[in-house]
């Protein structure tokens, strides 16, 4: 049964952390936090079954923070995550929780980042390491990461690490941790392999299972813009200008300082905007809300806590300028619009590494969140011109224009020009510091290596590699969304020289120095590329396995940083040495029976 706790103060956290949580805007713990924090503070090992978006990062991070001795500049906690995006996200959360802990240092280590940078930071000393299994293994092998002082070990999204082929690496790391330490394992599901790991490495763990809350918000139009190529503030103002039926908006940010900063910037651009945060007393808060209701304000920038309970029917839009920490916060936020039977609009700004959280929100709300195309300069110009024409039309229908018509005639006669030129000059004067045309150019869209489309159906993964040579065959059983693989007992027969199809024009075929003789499977290659280079598995093309090497198709125009990271990547402990394929297959031949992508089946 889920524990109901109204305040973080009831969980036994220190005053320093409670102060930080209040400043961040955390009001009351989520169910996973209420259940896990006391257990971890008591020193027990723990198995937590919870979906992403339930607030589990704080559930393990806050107790972990209580055990950190900042005077000891050695790793005291290690958090393993399946992807570098999640590693960065967790590290940022820890850094925010350490706001009132001077000297605290958290270090994310992951593939795709320079070893030199990581080595310097490790030499300087870090209290918490957040890393992906492959890169943590590398540092342990190089003896550049020392776990002798480890107090806490966290496995975050263990089932995802299993799916990506990292579970052997995880066990290798667990075997090299001190005997005396606390271990917390979090997983959305509990496959047999994860259960086996838990039984082997955890000591009398407490098991906590939290069912993710779901919500239906069908009356609200939900869209997202993936932050790219333009400053968020510029994008925000463009979007607000062209949104249909805009009346008033609440814009959500994470910190109190951000509310003031953004309110000032919007006010400087001509918007009637004000900040709403925990520093305002009740009288000032009520005044801001009353101004929003009356139309004296059109935009309020707020934190989650400050916006609780706001019920203003004219709020037509909610903008998540900063993505929320969990799905419950998102549902509360967008609930500020679409009230009293009206329709509403919710806009979410998503950084590329936050796409996972977007998918989690979609599953929790059971609603698709469609990508929003950023309005172009022409779109904004057309909207401004239309508004300007509307205002001119209103004045033309009014009486008492004879006096001004006479002035226009006089100017035309004195300057020896036509009335149209006088009107053009007056239009330019009437812009009032807000030009009808936006100067500059639209940003050029960057090649996307992240999934910017919603999954075909909810419950399906948004990352599906295309399988060509598997040595393994997907077999779907039951209602789960994950393929189960069974090894082929026999190799299919082929001609001595297998046919090699050319990669599509937007893909390039590469060769790597690992193959069947190294015990490599397709999932190992997919996991390594996705983790080290940050390329979503749906962008990974056909993979061919040979005896001593393999081929893989990757997007053309791959960034140099990603390519360099892959050249240093290891699979099953072997450097893959990625380079363009010159079409010289091994003597063992390639298994190339072609299969359709999952999406086509």
Q: Looking at residue 338, which CATH number applies to its domain?
A: 3.40.50.300
Domain match, 70 and 200 both? yes
**346 and 241 in a common domain:** yes
Of 209, 238, 272, the residue that ends a domain is: 209
Rounded CA separation 42/263 (Å): 43
Asked which of 105-109, 227-231, 473-477 is least confident by mean pLDDT, the reply is 473-477
Is residue 18 domain-shared with residue 98, that is, in the same domain? yes
- Burial class (CB within 10 angstroms; exposed 0-12, middle 13-18, buried 19+) of 402: exposed
- pLDDT one-digit tens code per residue, 93-121: 899 899 888 899 999 999 878 888 899 99
Most confident residue range from 18-27, 71-80, 92-101, 509-518: 71-80
Distance CA 161, CA 82 (A): 5
327 belongs to a structural domain: yes
Task: Specify if 467 maps to a domain.
Answer: no
- Tell me the residue range of the domain where 295 lies: 220-375
Does some domain include residue 186?
yes
Three-point CA angle 173, 178, 183, nearest 5°: 70
**Residue 462 within a domain:** no
Q: What distances in angstroms separate CA 69 from CA 73, 123, 148, 326, one per listed residue? A: 8, 18, 14, 29
pLDDT for residue 92 is more than 80: yes
Tell whether 177 is covered by a domain. yes
Residues 89 and 127 in one domain: yes
Provide the pLDDT confidence category of residue 268 given band limits of 50, 70 and 90: confident
Do 270 and 366 reside in the same domain of the chain? yes
Burial class (CB in 10 A: 0-12, 13-18, 19+), 288: buried
> Which of 375, 401, 419 lies at the terminal end of a domain, its last residue?
375
253 and 309 in a single domain? The answer is yes
> Which DSSP category does 90 fall into?
H
Q: Can you tell me the distance from the alpha carbon of 63 to that of 61, in angstroms, rounded to the nearest whole number?
A: 6
pLDDT at 475: 33
- Are residues 534 and 419 part of one domain? no
CATH of the domain at 545: 3.30.70.330
Most distant CA atoms of the chain, gap in Å: 96
| Total domains in the fold of the chain | 4
- The answer to whether residues 220 and 365 touch, using CB atoms and an 8 Å cutoff, is no
Per-residue pLDDT of 7-32, as tens digits, reads: 898 999 999 999 888 877 677 788 88
192 with 44, same domain? yes
In a domain, 487, yes or no: yes
> Does the pTM exceed 0.75?
no
Residue 574 confidence (pLDDT)? 79
Question: Scanning the structure block, which residue is given the tokens 């893989």?
Answer: 552
β strands within 311-438, DSSP E: 315-320, 344-350, 370-371
Query: Does 443 fall in a domain?
Result: no
- Summarize pLDDT for 367-405 with one digit per residue, the tens: 889 998 888 777 777 777 777 787 788 788 877 788 888
Query: Are 272 and 341 found together in one domain?
Result: yes
The pLDDT, as a whole number, for residue 549 is 87
With residue 390 as reference, give the H or E element that holds it. helix 377-396
Residue that is last in its domain, among 161, 180, 209? 209
Q: Is the CB of residue 22 less than 8 Å from the CB of residue 278? A: yes
Whether residues 64 and 53 fall in one domain: yes
pLDDT of 215 reads: 58
Residue 59 within a domain: yes
Rounded alpha-carbon distances, angstroms, from residue 196 to 59, 81, 190, 437: 23, 19, 10, 64
In a 13 Å sphere around the CA of 236, the CA atoms on its Cβ side amount to: 25
Query: Alpha-carbon distance 217 to 266, whole Å?
Result: 29
**To 5 degrees, how large is the angle CA 25–CA 30–CA 34?**
115
For 50, 195, 278, 321, the CA distances from 190, given in Å and listed in that order, are: 10, 6, 40, 35
Same domain, 336 and 260: yes
Q: Are residues 256 and 349 both part of a single domain?
A: yes
pLDDT at 459: 30
Question: What whole-number distance in Å separates Cα of residue 109 and Cα of residue 131?
Answer: 5
Instruction: Pick the closest to residue 299 from 285, 283, 281, 314 (CA basis).
Output: 314
443 pLDDT tier (thresholds 50, 70, 90)? low
Q: What is the DSSP string of 45-56?
A: -EEEE--TTSSH
Q: What is the 3-state secondary structure (H, E, C) of 200-212?
A: HHCCCCEEEECCC
CB 234 within 8 A of CB 216: no
Contact 505, 528 (CB under 8 A): no
Q: What angle do CA 250, 252, 258 make, to 5 degrees?
A: 120
């Amino acid at each position: 049964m889920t524990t109901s706790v109204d305040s973080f103060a009831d969980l036994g956290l220190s005053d320093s952390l409670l102060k930080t949580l209040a400043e961040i805007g955390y009001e009351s713990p989520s169910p996973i936090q209420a259940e896990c924090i006391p257990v971890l503070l008591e020193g027990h090992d723990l198995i937590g079954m919870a979906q992403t978006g339930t607030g589990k990062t704080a559930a393990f991070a806050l107790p972990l923070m209580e055990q950190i001795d900042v005077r000891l500049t050695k790793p005291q906690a290690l958090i393993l995550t399946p992807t570098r995006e999640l590693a960065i996200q967790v590290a940022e959360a820890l850094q925010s929780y350490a706001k009132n802990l001077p000297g605290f240092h958290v270090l994310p280590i992951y593939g795709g980042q320079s070893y030199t940078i990581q080595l310097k930071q490790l030499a300087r000393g870090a209290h918490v390491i957040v890393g992906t299994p492959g890169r943590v293994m590398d540092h342990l092998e190089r003896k550049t990461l020392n776990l002798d002082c480890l107090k806490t070990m966290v496995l975050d999204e263990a089932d995802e690490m299993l799916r990506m082929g990292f579970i052997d690496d995880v066990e290798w790391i667990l075997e090299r941790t001190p005997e005396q330490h606390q271990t917390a394992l979090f997983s959305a599901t509990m496959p047999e392999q994860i259960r086996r790991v838990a039984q082997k490495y955890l000591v009398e763990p407490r098991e906590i299972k939290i069912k993710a809350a779901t919500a239906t918000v069908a009356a609200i139009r939900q869209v997202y813009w993936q932050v790219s190529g333009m400053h968020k503030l510029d994008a925000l103002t463009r979007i607000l200008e062209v949104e249909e039926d805009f009346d008033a908006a609440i814009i959500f940010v994470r910190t109190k300082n951000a509310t003031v900063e953004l309110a000032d910037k919007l006010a400087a651009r001509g918007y009637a905007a004000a900040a709403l945060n925990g520093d305002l007393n009740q009288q000032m808060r009520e005044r801001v809300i009353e101004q929003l209701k009356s139309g004296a304000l059109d935009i309020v920038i707020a934190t989650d806590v400050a916006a609780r309970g706001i019920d203003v029917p004219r709020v037509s839009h909610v903008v998540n300028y900063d993505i929320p920490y969990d799905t419950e916060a998102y549902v509360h936020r967008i609930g500020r619009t679409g009230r009293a039977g009206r329709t509403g609009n919710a806009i979410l700004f998503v950084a590329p590494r936050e796409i996972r959280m977007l998918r989690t929100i979609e599953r929790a709300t059971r609603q698709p969140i469609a990508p929003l195309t950023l309005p172009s300069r022409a779109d904004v110009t057309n909207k401004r011109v239309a508004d300007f024409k509307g205002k001119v039309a209103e004045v033309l229908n009014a009486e008492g224009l004879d006096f001004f018509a006479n002035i226009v005639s006089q100017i035309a006669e004195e300057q020896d020009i036509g009335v149209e030129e006088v009107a053009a000059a007056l239009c330019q004067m009437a812009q009032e510091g807000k030009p009808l045309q936006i100067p500059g150019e639209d940003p050029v869209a960057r090649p996307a290596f992240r999934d910017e489309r919603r999954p075909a159906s909810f419950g399906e993964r948004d990352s599906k590699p295309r399988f060509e040579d598997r040595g393994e065959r997907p077999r779907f059983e039951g209602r789960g969304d994950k393929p189960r693989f069974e090894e082929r007992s026999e190799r299919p027969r082929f001609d001595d020289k297998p046919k090699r199809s050319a990669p599509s024009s937007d893909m390039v075929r590469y060769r790597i120095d690992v193959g069947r003789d190294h015990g490599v499977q397709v999932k190992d290659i997919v996991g390594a590329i996705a983790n080290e280079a940050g390329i979503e598995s749906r962008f990974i093309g056909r993979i061919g396995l040979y005896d001593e090497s393999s081929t893989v198709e990757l997007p053309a125009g791959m960034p140099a940083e990603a390519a360099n990271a892959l050249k240093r990547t290891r699979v099953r402990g072997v450097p893959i040495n990625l380079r363009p394929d010159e079409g010289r297959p091994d003597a063992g031949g390639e298994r190339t029976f072609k299969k359709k992508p999952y999406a086509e089946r």
